[in-house]
Amino acid sequence: MNINFKGKKALVRVDFNVPLDKAYNITDDTRIREAVPTIRQILDQGGSAILMSHLGRPLEKKNPDGSINREKFTLKHLVKHLRKKLKAKVHFAEDCVGKPAEKKAAALKPGEVLLLENTRFHPEEEAGDEAFAKKLAALGDVYINDAFGTAHRAHASTTIVAHYFDKSHKSFGLLMEREILNASRAIHNPAKPVTCVTGGAKVSDKILLLEKFLDYADNILIGGAMAYTFMLAKKGATVGNSLVEADKLKIAKDFLKKAKAAGVKVLLPKDSVCGDKFAADAQTQVCPSHQIPDGWMGLDIGPAAARAFASVIRKSQTVIWNGPMGVFEMPAFADGTKVVAKAVASATKKGAFTMVGGGDSVAAVNQLKLAKKVSFVSTGGGAMLEFLEGKELPGIKAIGS
Ligand code: AMP
């Protein structure tokens, strides 16, 4: 952040979309903790911070009478915790725009924080409304975007608001700087060999990413349910009841052809841990992935596949991992993801640059307590996917223009 915050009111877009329990206690404060360094730097330099964020989807989850469930989605639930984490005075404005917000912002003293109410209480936020963004912009002297997770959305507080500040009065926050730096490192001239590991449920979600990987990867490892659509794209394979996207077979076939032409090695799982139902207590057996019997479904990569994937990962200098290898939420189908996570940690130890992104693979790495043993864990699911796909994210573009 190359802005001197002394005497300035910094309008900061943070991502405080934290999980709350039924009594509105924060069950995971990672996002708040990660925003602290940016806010502290502003306060320590003698500035004040006006924080704005969304929390959940209040407009989609309204009360039966059509009103907004303010109690459930208010950011007020976060004030006490924020005070503790920031060790600063934290005020709260009951609305993110309008007189009370303006008054409280104007009265804010250096070293103090004002948390604005959920921006998504206003439909103008997600619509990217100019007039609404202008009102938000009027609250601060400078604008900081530290919410990487929403940088792929052209919402008022993530993108449009930045148009009201000139280049010297806006910047990324420290968290967002780190995300951009690491993702750029992964895709621009990465050290070779580069291995991209993908998994998860759907080919349709990941196909753009896979196609982009063809530009710079040496190896692409495909696990998760999406592997079975690729498996079916090969002649003579049967995958039983595994989750497949029949309408994506052509895309899968084309991708395998393109990879071959580009000289990129694509590894599909040789074997699979199969279950007789999609359940934690399913009967299980290991089968070749191209010969899964009727009535059985592939729910994890098998032990031979896990060994093969791990061996490629361990020999890589750059590893990008997005998506679990199986239904890792169920212990019987978590081994493939575990083996991959450990191999990524071991590659890191040997000097590789490794990056994990996407909600489920991040959860797996955290569960295995390996987050500190990989080079970078991204906080931005969809935003990171789009960044890796090579798309220009509106929230990033708005800071640079
Ligand atoms: P995604 O959000 O696309 O990364 O998908 C993650 C989800 O895919 C997780 O909830 C996994 O349980 C699920 N998943 C991974 N492998 C399989 C599989 N073989 N069959 C069904 N679901 C899977």
Q: Is 209 in the pocket of ligand 1 (CB under 6 A)?
A: no
Ligand 1 pocket test target in 222, 277, 330, 360 with most atoms within 8 Å of CB? 360
Q: Kindly provide the b/e burial profile for residues 10-47, where b requires at least 16 CB atoms within 10 angstroms of the residue's own CB.
A: bbbbbbbbbebeeeeebeebebbebbbebbbbbbebeb
Long-range contacts of 189-192, Cβ-Cβ distance < 8 Å, separation of 24 or more: 190/216, 190/317, 190/318, 190/353, 191/317, 191/318, 191/352, 191/353, 192/218, 192/317, 192/318
Q: How many CB atoms lie within 10 A of CB 81?
A: 17
Mind spelling out the 3-state secondary structure of 277-293?
CCCCCCCEEEEECCEEC
Q: Tokens 């303006």 sit at which residue?
A: 102
- 3-state DSSP assignment of residue 368: coil
Residue 359 has what pLDDT?
66
How far does residue 311's CA lie from ligand 1's centre (Å)?
23
- The alpha carbon of 14 and the centre of ligand 1 are apart by a number of angstroms equal to 29
Please state the atom number of ligand 1 nearest to the C-alpha of residue 200.
Answer: 5
pLDDT at 178: 93
In contact, 51 and 9? CB cutoff 8 Å: no
Cα 37 to averaged position of ligand 1 atoms, centre (Å): 34
Specify the residue for token string 């090695």: 265
Indicate the pTM of the whole model: 0.85
Give yes or no for a contact between 118 and 53, defined as CB atoms under 8 angstroms apart: yes
- Judging by DSSP bridges, how do beta strands 318-322 and 297-301 pair with one another? unpaired
Give the ligand 1 atom nearest the CA of 206.
Answer: 3
279 alpha carbon to ligand 1 midpoint, in Å?
A: 13
pLDDT tens string for the chain (401 positions)? 889 999 999 999 999 998 899 999 998 888 899 899 999 999 999 999 999 999 999 999 999 998 999 999 999 999 999 999 999 999 999 999 999 999 999 999 999 999 999 999 999 999 999 999 999 999 999 999 999 989 999 999 999 999 999 999 999 999 999 999 999 988 888 999 999 999 988 888 889 889 999 998 999 999 999 999 999 988 889 999 999 998 999 999 999 999 999 999 999 999 999 999 999 999 999 999 999 999 999 999 999 999 999 999 999 999 999 989 999 999 999 999 999 999 999 999 999 999 998 767 888 888 889 989 999 998 887 888 889 888 999 999 999 87
Q: Distance (Å, rounded) from C-alpha 132 to C-alpha 24?
A: 28
Is the beta carbon of 324 within 6 A of some atom in ligand 1?
yes
Domains of the chain: 9-175 (3.40.50.1260), 182-379 (3.40.50.1260)
Dihedral in degrees, nearest 10, Cα atoms 84, 87, 93, 96: -100
- pLDDT reported for residue 27: 87
The pair of structure tokens assigned to 248 is 């994506």
Q: For residue 277, which amino acid is it?
A: K
- Which of 243, 327, 362 has most ligand 1 atoms within 8 Å of its beta carbon, as the pocket-test mutant? 327
Residues annotated catalytic, as ranges:
31, 202, 359, 382
Q: What pLDDT, on the 0 to 100 scale, is given for residue 29?
A: 87
Burial state string for 240-260 with b = 16 or more CB within 10 A and e = fewer than 16: bbbbbbeebeebbeebbeebe
Is 369 exposed, middle or buried (CB count within 10 Å of its CB: 0-12, 13-18, 19+)? exposed
Strands 284-288 and 271-275: antiparallel
Of 373, 360, 369, 366, nearest to 333 by C-alpha is 360
